[in-house]
Each structure stands twice: as C-alpha cells, then as structure tokens.
Chain A
C-alpha cells in the first residue's frame, strides 16, 4: 500500500461507495479515507477530537471535498484549511453536482484547485491530478 492518502469528505454513502469503486477498479495506489461531515474533516486534518492520536504532519496528498456537508459545510471547511498555515497549501478538489456558476466561482475564490462532477470518474480525476501537478504523488509513480 502506498503511504499516500486521499481524503474524501462526503456525507452521501452511495457517492462515497461509487468513488471507492472507481478508484479500486483503476487500481489506484493511494489509500482512500472517507469522513462524513465538515467538523470531522477538520478533526482529521488538524489531528484533533477523535483523531487526536493522528500525526498532524501526515497530511493527505489531495482532498476531495463535497460542498454540502452536515455541521460545517464545504465552504467553511475550505476557509478553515486556508486560514491555517499547515493546511494552506493542501490541494483541494471540489466535488460538485452541477455547473452552476455560483458554485464554481465561489469555490475558486476560496482557493479550490479544481473541481470534478459526481459521480467521481477516475479518468477525470487523473486529468485533474495532472492539471494540478500531483500526478506522481497520487499515483505513486517512481519519484526518479
């Protein structure tokens, strides 16, 4: 198993399962960690609350973020990540269900690196990963 992690922040278990299947079928090497709401996502990333035992320096290679989440929504999660020096540079890809202009513009304004439509298509995911320059990291190609 790769030591790279992809964090999926998604409250819909069907969408989480479809993402898991897409990545499994593509034999993606990274470990997929799924958290179900915005507050838990911040606990995971900042190694606090029920994730207090986690090493806070061990950040995922990439975060896949649904915008509509219980407790804290995706925008609030983004604001918290961008406000913290440790997570400011973390690549975040927003999962969207629509191409409504508001979603896209508001997300880029909050420092989103890219976005993909649900259900997550592995091919699209790879394109996005290339586009933000993380191909080798996520797919665990030799670092040469």
Chain B
C-alpha cells in the first residue's frame, strides 16, 4: 500500500485505501454460515499467509481449531450479541504465541473477528519474572555462600585448619564464578527475545563446525566424533543463531561427559519454507517425564554436583529460536542420548540461489 502512487485527492483516498488494512490487529468479517468474507493484512501476517487465502471458506476451523466450535455457536445465534466471545485466549500453538480473540456482531448478520497478538507482552512479562526470580533466589545463593564462608574464616581468625580454610576459599571462588556466569546469563535472557535485526542466509553447518572447534579447544583431552552435515542454510540473525547452536552444542557436550567419546551429529533438511534440524548426542539423556521443564528458566534436571549450570541455557535457546520465527523440541532416552529438533525459517526462494 505504501508503494502506491501518490493520491490526487481525498475522495480517491477514501475509495482506494482500505482502512482495515491499516489497523495493527488481525480483523476478519465472518458470515453467519462461517465463511470468511474478508480478512485484513495484519491477520494474514499472524499466520504468515495472504489475507485472500483466508477468505471464501470457514478459515477458523483450520486456523483456530481450539475455538472453532465456540465461534460457530456464536455465529449460529447472530444477530444476538449474548453468545459472542470476548478476549478469549487462543489455546497454545506450537509456535508458542499468545493470541487473544474477540467476536462481536456486525451489521447484516455478519460478525467481526478480532485477533490480538499478545506474544510480545507475554514474552516481556515472562522475562521480567525470570529476572526477578534470578536475582531474588538464584543470585542470592552464591552471595549467601560467599558471605557465610568468608564470615566463618574471619571468625576463626587464622586458627582454622588449613584444609577447612582451603575448602571455604574454594567455595567462595566457585560461588563468585557462578554469580558472574549467572549475571551474564540474565543479561542474555534480556536480549534473547529481540527480533532478528538483519535477517540473512546463515550457514548453520559452518557455525556448527566453528562451535564444535571451540568446544574441543576448551576441552582438548576429550575424544570427540562430530558429524555436521554440509549445506544447512537458515534465514535469520547470524549472531543469534550462533548463540542458539552454541547453547545446544554446549549442552550436548556437557552431558556426554561420562562417555569415552563425545558423539554429536547435526543434520537436517529443508521442508517447504522451513529448515528442520536434528542435533543428536549419545550422552546421558533424561527421562521424558521432565521434557516440559527443560526449556523453563531455572527448572534444572541436575543438581549442582551433577553438571547443572545456571539453569538458563536451554530457556535462552528456546527464546532465541522463537525470536527467529522457529522453535525447539526435544526427545531423549536415559543413557542413550538426546535429540533436539530445531525448526527455523529456511532461506526464502528468491534468495536460495545466492549462497
């Protein structure tokens, strides 16, 4: 619309500019029989389709399966207003978005459907909760340890036996390091949900090789068999995607610690306009009962003695994936290994030839 030729007069503006396409909320006009008469640009944008593709059929039955029955019931009672829906949360879809729906009668036996995307607000709220909990609980733990062990050392005034003194100093050092890592992770959490600044074709294979080389550098004694398929291209922010892969590969490496050899495979394929990646390790795995909490901040599956980090790594990875328009899910088996399925936007067709 913004590319249209300049308008010559006001009446032409009224005739050619479709006002509902200027509005930020998703809007559609539905007939009493359920068929969609019209949908605006914002609504098409929520589902990533052209608005015209939503028109001419009962698109809510396909796009809003969790609410379709209620929408149909409200339409059947038109023009009565008592059966309308107001600010009803749309049940979660795989993308993790938070949508809110309102349906109210319009003229001539039709209804106006409004869809608000609350994802940005909900993401901010969740982030704030993570920060508050991180500071009030998680950061307090190492501060408490430093304070308590230092106090004990001072109280003993040099009379502590050397072994105890050394133990306390090591705990103080370790707690300081943990607090520092946690502060970095909390800052990363604040930045992870930013939408991609400049999306471009990103060579996932190259990033994978690079990160694995870094992991091997920091842990040179470990035998590792790493297979990264070539030519895996995603569309997004290179920095964010490297961070995302870094979190998952670091996790795979860490939880392979008890194996003789670290085995990591990264492969995948393009399916339509999506890149479906699989990242497999042969590490210790985990019980799928706990799969849901894997991506929740500070819901660790391991205790501090047992490989746990600051409890934010996979939550940040999921935030990064969603900010890039993708998501991560996981399958695992104790003692057999873990597979992360990472879905990301693929390089759009017109750019596919470029790399």
Contact = CB atoms under 8 A, between A and B. Distances in A.
Interface of A: 11-15, 17-18, 21, 36-37, 68, 70-71, 73, 97-98, 100, 118-119
Contact of B141 (A71, A73, A97): A97
Interface of B: 136-137, 140-142, 144-145, 148-149, 152, 171, 175, 290, 298-306, 308
A37 B303 contact: yes
A37 B149 CA distance: 23
A91 to B, nearest CB: 24
A71 B289 CA distance: 9
A97 B23 CA distance: 47
Contacts of A68: 137, 298
B137 A71 contact: no
A97 B137 contact: yes
A102 B144 CA distance: 22
A98 B137 contact: yes
A129 B336 CA distance: 45
A100 B142 CA distance: 19
A118 B136 CA distance: 13
A11 B304 contact: yes
B232 to A, nearest CB: 33
Contacts of A119: 144, 148
Nearest to B141: A12
A36 B300 contact: no
A97 B149 CA distance: 17
23 contacts: A11-B300, A11-B304, A12-B141, A12-B304, A13-B303, A13-B305, A14-B144, A14-B145, A14-B171, A14-B175, A15-B141, A36-B303, A36-B306, A37-B303, A68-B137, A70-B299, A70-B300, A70-B302, A70-B308, A71-B290, A97-B144, A98-B136, A118-B144
Nearest to A103: B137
Nearest to B140: A97
A100 B303 CA distance: 24
A52 B256 CA distance: 28
Contact of A14 (B141, B302, B303): B141
Main secondary structure of the interface of B (DSSP, over half): helix
Contacts of A100: 136
B338 to A, nearest CB: 16
B303 A70 contact: yes
A121 B301 CA distance: 28
B299 A13 contact: no
B148 A18 contact: yes
Contacts of B300: 11, 70
Contact of B136 (A14, A15, A71, A97): A97
Contacts of A70: 299-303, 306, 308
Central interface residue in A12, A18, A118, A119, by most chain B CB within 10 Å: A12
Nearest to A40: B303
Contacts of B306: 36, 70
B168 to A, nearest CB: 9
A14 B140 contact: no
Contacts of B152: 21
Contacts of B305: 13, 36
The 9 closest A-B pairs by CB, nearest first: A36-B303, A14-B145, A11-B303, A70-B300, A97-B140, A70-B303, A37-B303, A97-B137, A119-B148
Contacts of B175: 14
B301 to A, nearest CB: 6
A14 B303 CA distance: 12
Given A14-B141, A14-B149, A97-B136, A73 B299 contact: yes
Contacts of B171: 14, 17
Nearest to A25: B152
A15 B152 CA distance: 14
Contacts of B303: 11, 13, 36-37, 70
Contacts of B302: 37, 70
A68 to B, nearest CB: 6
A82 to B, nearest CB: 20
Nearest to B302: A70
A11 B298 CA distance: 12
Nearest to B136: A98
Given A12-B304, A18-B148, 9 more contacts: A11-B304, A12-B145, A13-B304, A36-B303, A36-B306, A70-B299, A70-B303, A70-B308, A98-B140
Contacts of A97: 136-137, 140-141, 144
A64 to B, nearest CB: 16
A1 to B, nearest CB: 22
A73 B293 CA distance: 11
